[in-house]
Amino acid sequence: MNIKGKKVVVFGGTSGIGSATIKLLIKSKASKIYAISRNPKKLKVRYKNLILESVDVLDENNVKNLFKKIGPYDVLISTATGGERAVGPFLTMDMNGYKNSFDKVWGYANVIRYGIKNLNKNGNVVLVSGSPARKPKAGFVAISSAGGAVEAFVRAITKELAPIRINLVSPGVIDTPMSPLKGKARKAFYKNATKENIIKRAGSAEEVAKAILFVIENDFITGATIDVDGGWISS
Ligand SMILES: NC(=O)c1ccc[n+]([C@@H]2O[C@H](COP(=O)([O-])OP(=O)(O)OC[C@H]3O[C@@H](n4cnc5c(N)ncnc54)[C@H](OP(=O)(O)O)[C@@H]3O)[C@@H](O)[C@H]2O)c1
């Protein structure tokens, strides 16, 4: 697929990996791009064919109505986390926090369920999971199991969606607004979080966005998970 001239819908396209993806889609001359989240105005990028929409992926009716408004399109991307995720040891974890971590799965389920009808049969879907699902670390039970559910969901749905392709991009530690830390504390956090990886630094949102564009453009890839993790899995 050549992105030039294509209509692309990006849930979570207003921050971090999603907004880096929007920038690459603009460079690739997509004809129309939708950047969607609950508070889309935080996206500072402006472009004549970029449309900001305010929708919560967990609100089925709003998701349905949005797709009616968008009409036929070519690529569906979602990086939307869905909500707050719990971290910390399982035995003392807040169980509601653990349950809420699965909002990512329900958000992905909603955008696919209501977004597939108008998606071009030569088109494709890209979702984002994460390394904790593939090589869990202590204290990441919630994120690991929600990410594992996303991976199983994609493997299970790949045949059902064909000929539409679907792929996952799995980031390791990435420097995005997801972490609220500033200055020295931020630097120390990323240094510590990546000390066991082969590449001992946080990745950039653009490095992940490049993998998203790669699976969009390669018509021979479906049902795959592409790791962009600085060697988290191999370390
Ligand atoms: N950064 C990392 O280290 C890392 C590592 C592994 C995996 N990931 C995954 O990569 C994806 C993107 O992360 P990021 O680092 O780019 O995070 P981010 O900067 O916090 O961006 C998350 C985006 O999702 C949107 N969003 C969240 N909940 C939503 C909802 N219910 N409805 C609609 N939009 C929603 C947010 O916008 P609003 O708040 O305006 O809704 C925002 O645009 C996530 O799935 C994350 O789990 C990230």
Domain boundaries, the chain: 7-228
Ligand 1 atom having least distance to the Cα of 173: 3
d(CA 140, CA 158): 27
Residue whose Cα lies nearest atom 12 of ligand 1: it is 79
Q: Is the CB of 101 under 6 A from ligand 1?
A: no
Q: Report angle CA 55, 61, 63 to the nearest 5 degrees.
A: 40
DSSP-derived 3-state class of residue 208: helix
Residue 58, pLDDT above cutoff 90:
yes
φ and ψ at 22, to 5 degrees? -55, -45
Q: Is 219 exposed, middle or buried (0-12, 13-18, 19+ CB in 10 A)?
A: exposed
Per-residue pLDDT band at 129 (split at 50, 70, 90): very high
Answer yes or no: are the C-beta atoms of 166 and 156 closer than 8 Å.
Answer: no
How far away, in angstroms, is 80 Cα from ligand 1 center? 4
Over the stretch 151-160, which tens digit does the pLDDT of each residue have?
A: 999 999 999 9
* Atom 2 of ligand 1, residue of closest alpha carbon: 174
Q: Which helix (H) or strand (E) covers residue 183, if one does?
A: helix 183-193
Secondary structure (3-state) at 52 = strand
Percent share of the chain, pLDDT over 70 = 100
Q: For residues 90-112, give the mean pLDDT.
A: 96
Please state which architecture CATH assigns to domain 7-228.
Answer: 3-Layer(aba) Sandwich (3.40)
Residues 163-219 pLDDT 10s: 999 999 999 999 999 999 999 999 999 999 999 999 999 999 999 999 999 999 999
Which residue minimizes the CA distance to atom 7 of ligand 1? Answer: 130
Judged against a pLDDT cut of 90, whether residue 85 lies above it is answered with no
pLDDT value of residue 196? 96
**Model pLDDT, residue 170:** 98
Contacting residues for 221 by C-beta, under 8 A, at least 6 apart: 165, 167, 215
Q: Please check the confidence at residue 10 and state whether its pLDDT lies above 90.
A: yes
